[in-house]
């Protein structure tokens, strides 16, 4: 791998640090020293101080922290569009789980995750939090793509092609974590799938590991009404109360979806410091509902953004999730001031990084943090004029406008072109799996 220049100047029209909230800097440059953000200086001062440093001219661009996808299943890009327009449990039990039983193996997870990394990088995402089988393959794909990843140690209480039982899932996941210890772009979290697939004894083991290793726990929670009704029948309590009694509600917990919440449950999430991974497109597409974002924010719940997997979205477009999240929060509450542009940008960057315990490294353009950065071109005719670049990022721009991406100071996307990734080979892999899965699932080719 080529070494990074000692110093690089990034010269955008606007710098949006995210912290402090709402700040926009013009005629400033970001000075990179290798993989670290060294300083933010007025452009004349930066050029005078570093006259020989390489410069990246971004004359119509906003420079933002790299987006952080707080919840996805990267390998499921290979199941994109396989079984659309179905309720969650029918979608899972009748289509997704059978397809996974036939096809999920190390090669499937590696190929699908690599395809996902390419899609996310092209959309300005520099870090993702994943939950899927064969996590060592997801880690390998992220490493080869040069992307930052928090890889989930998945666990369910039934056998799959990956593991025989809960202990097998946990031991294999922990072994994968040990294999990647020391890789600066990779971290791990505990990832029990959901309360309806994981029993109390397994949750207790997961909590013990999470506390010993000081890692987050990410779990699907209150995604559908059926999930809640099943919990009441089996356990006599709603899933959040069950996890609370088991001791899992804490600042280490990432509650994925959190669509169906009572006021008392929102207060409980806030008081225990839990984070919520809001996945608006997936929730709508599966008919799960609309999360009570306005009420969560009023109670101080930390909100991050995720795409979920491509099989239920069907794209890994965090720029699109920002716009949809903001609009849904306003429409559902009847209050246009809810989740303004600066706050939803924070949800997709710093708040999601905080949920992963990575906010000391990424999530804002702050001297001393790692240089995970995204440049969005706001100079197109369809975005003229531009009065407020933060507003434009959320309401006018899209992932097609992402022009440059850096991860740990290293360019990964330049002028919309992926660097160090073979897109022809990625197309070949996608076609191979499409043909193979279509033959066994009865889907049209």
Domains annotated for the chain, with CATH where assigned, are 8-65+371-414 (2.30.40.10), 67-355 (3.20.20.140)
pLDDT at 444 (0 to 100): 42
What is the per-residue pLDDT for 229?
97
Q: Is the dihedral of CA 287, 199, 72, 86 positive or negative?
A: negative
* DSSP bridge partners of 28: 42
Residue 277 CA to residue 31 CA, distance in Å, equals 32
Per-residue pLDDT of 138-185, as tens digits, reads: 999 999 999 999 999 999 999 999 999 999 999 999 999 999 999 999
Q: Identify the pLDDT of residue 92.
A: 83
Beta bridge partners of 373: 65, 406
In whole angstroms, give the CA distance from residue 307 to residue 39: 32
pLDDT of residue 439: 85
Q: Facing residues of 64 across strands?
A: 374
DSSP-assigned letter for residue 162: S
Dump strand ranges (E) for 132-202.
148-155, 186-192
Dihedral angle at the C-alpha atoms of 163, 169, 172, 173, nearest 10 degrees? 140
Region for residue 385 given its phi and psi (left: phi exceeds 0; alpha: psi -120 to 50; beta: otherwise): beta
The tens digit of pLDDT for each residue in 5-15 reads 799 999 999 99
Residue 1 has a pLDDT of 62
- What residues does 67 pair with on adjacent strands? 125
pLDDT of residue 89: 82
Residues 85 and 143 sit within 8 Å (Cβ to Cβ): no
Collect the ranges in the chain with pLDDT lower than 50.
444-445
Q: Which pTM was predicted?
A: 0.97
Q: Identify whether the C-beta of residue 376 lies closer than 8 Å to the C-beta of residue 401.
A: yes
């Amino acid at each position: 791998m080529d070494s990074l220049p000692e110093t690089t100047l990034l010269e955008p029209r606007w710098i949006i640090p995210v912290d402090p909230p709402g700040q926009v800097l013009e005629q400033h440059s970001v000075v990179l020293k290798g993989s670290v953000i060294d300083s933010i200086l007025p452009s004349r001062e930066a050029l005078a101080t570093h006259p020989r440093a390489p410069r990246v001219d971004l004359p119509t661009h906003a420079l933002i922290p790299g987006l952080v996808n707080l919840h996805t299943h990267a390998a499921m890009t290979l199941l994109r569009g396989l079984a659309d327009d179905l309720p969650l449990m029918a979608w899972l039990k009748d289509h997704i789980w059978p397809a996974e039983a036939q096809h999920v193996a190390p090669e499937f997870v590696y190929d699908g995750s690599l395809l996902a990394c390419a899609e996310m990088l092209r959309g300005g995402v520099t870090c993702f939090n994943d939950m899927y089988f064969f996590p060592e393959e997801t880690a390998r794909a992220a490493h080869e793509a040069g992307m930052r990843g928090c890889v989930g140690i998945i666990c369910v209480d039934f056998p799959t092609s990956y593991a025989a039982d809960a202990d097998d899932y946990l031991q294999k996941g922990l072994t994968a974590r040990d294999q990647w210890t020391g890789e600066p772009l990779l971290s791990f979290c505990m990832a029990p799938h959901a309360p309806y697939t994981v029993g109390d004894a397994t949750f207790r083991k997961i909590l013990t590991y999470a506390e010993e290793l000081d890692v987050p726990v990410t779990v699907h929670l209150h995604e559908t009404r059926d999930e809640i009704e099943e919990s009441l029948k089996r356990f006599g309590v709603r899933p959040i109360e069950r996890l609370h009694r088991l001791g899992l509600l804490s600042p280490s917990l990432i509650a994925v979806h959190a669509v169906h919440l009572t006021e008392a449950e929102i207060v409980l999430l806030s008081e225990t410091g839990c984070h919520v991974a809001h996945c608006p497109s997936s929730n709508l597409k599966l008919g799960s509902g609309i999360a009570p974002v306005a009420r969560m924010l009023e109670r101080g719940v930390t909100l991050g953004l995720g795409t979920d997997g491509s099989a239920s979205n069907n794209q890994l477009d965090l720029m699109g999730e920002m716009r949809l999240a903001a609009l849904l929060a306003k429409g559902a509450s009847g209050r246009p001031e809810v989740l303004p542009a600066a706050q939803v940008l924070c949800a997709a960057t710093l708040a999601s990084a905080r949920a992963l315990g990575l906010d000391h490294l990424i999530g804002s353009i702050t001297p001393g943090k790692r240089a995970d950065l995204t440049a969005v071109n706001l100079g197109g005719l369809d975005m003229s004029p531009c009065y407020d670049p933060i507003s434009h990022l959320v309401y006018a721009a899209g992932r097609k406008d992402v022009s440059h991406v850096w991860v740990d100071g290293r360019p990964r996307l330049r002028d919309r072109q992926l660097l160090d990734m073979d897109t022809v080979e990625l197309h070949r892999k996608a076609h191979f799996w499409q043909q193979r899965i279509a033959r066994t699932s009865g889907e049209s080719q």
